[in-house]
A = this chain, B = another copy of it.
Amino acid sequence: MVNIKDIARRVGMSPSTVSRVINGKNHVNAFKRERILSVIEETGYVPNNAARSMVLKRSFTVGIVIPDAFNMFQRQLFSIIERYLDSFGYHTVFFFAKFDGSGEKELLARIQSERPDGIIMLHEIREGDFYSCLAGVKLPVVTATFYRDAVPSIHVNETEAAFDGVTHLINLGHRRISVISGSECSFGRQRVEGFFRALEQAGIPRDESQVILVGNYTAEFGMYGMRELLLRNGDFTAVFAVTDELAIGAIRALEDAGLDVPGDISVVGFDDIDISGFLMPRLTTIRQPLGELGEKTALALHRAVNGGGAAKDIVLPHKLIIRESTRALPRRRR
């Protein structure tokens, strides 16, 4: 591949001069600049990022840590983040983290050897070691979709959001409400917390048998969770599935059991993934402000990379989207 020396030789100037025009520096004869530009064009020269980043000590790359089994919401989110990052001149490289939390050591090594300018965490890693190690090598970190002490975090108030979803159910007359969640991520725990707060506020007694914790947040596990709930024979009239995908699976299990949603059981999800509004029934859910989440995250990282401002916790507004999967409970069933 053609390099900067080749260009220099072809135009009969020094590499420094070529470098200057590539980087848009001043102090170079307009005439020569034109000449260099045209040779670059005709040879198809493209700077070697590895070489450049070595001297600059900047890679213009940001790493995104994301679970290997990322869900649709995360998928949508990172597309948006990528777009903003791109507009700031960064490339994006993925660092997949095992959902079960193993392999953190390797993850850390991979990150360090790649030397991104910053890290966006879309996957929660609990070990404080992870963050302190990153801090130790002066790698700015931003977390999105969850809160982490001492680093900029962009997220909704999960607990309040869940509270709103469950309160909607309560306002509809439901009193016997179940919840299906995963246990792995803190958003799951926080949403369950919000669930309990809503019950409490309504004076509904806490009943641990109404919470089902499953292995992950997919439709498949939503189905398993609901089957389990059905087996327990608890006579709930509504379910809060902590994720839209969980909700999809839960509805499936309900209908398999001959129960209609929302006729017999109301279901509310969380995230408002892009197909939620097209499902049968259309899902009532809590929307996270995807666009804003992505924008703020990319911006926070950009600032952090440029030594900018204080690490701030940014809480974005959620929104309850009422669609067809929830319905007022008839008086006689209350």
Contacts and interface: CB of A to CB of B under 8 A. Distances in A.
A47 B113 contact: yes
A27 to B, nearest CB: 24
A86 B93 CA distance: 13
A274 B92 contact: no
A47 B112 CA distance: 8
Contact of A113 (B49, B72, B83, B93): B49
21 contacts: A1-B137, A46-B112, A46-B113, A47-B113, A48-B115, A50-B50, A50-B53, A51-B54, A68-B82, A69-B79, A70-B79, A72-B75, A79-B96, A82-B94, A91-B93, A91-B114, A219-B274, A245-B275, A248-B279, A252-B282, A280-B280
Given A1-B112, A82-B94, A114-B91, A223 B278 contact: yes
Contacts of A44: 133, 136
Contacts of A86: 96
Contact of A275 (B68, B114, B248): B248
Interface of A: 1, 44, 46-51, 53-54, 59, 68-70, 72, 75, 79, 82-83, 86, 91-94, 96, 109-110, 112-115, 133, 136-137, 218-220, 222-223, 245, 248-249, 251-252, 255, 274-275, 278-280, 282
Going nearest first, the 10 A-B pairs with the smallest beta carbon separation are: A46-B112, A50-B50, A219-B278, A252-B278, A280-B280, A49-B113, A46-B113, A93-B93, A219-B275, A50-B54
Contacts of A251: 280
Nearest to A46: B112
B82 A274 contact: no
Contacts of A274: 218-220
Given A75-B75, A79-B68, A109 B46 contact: yes
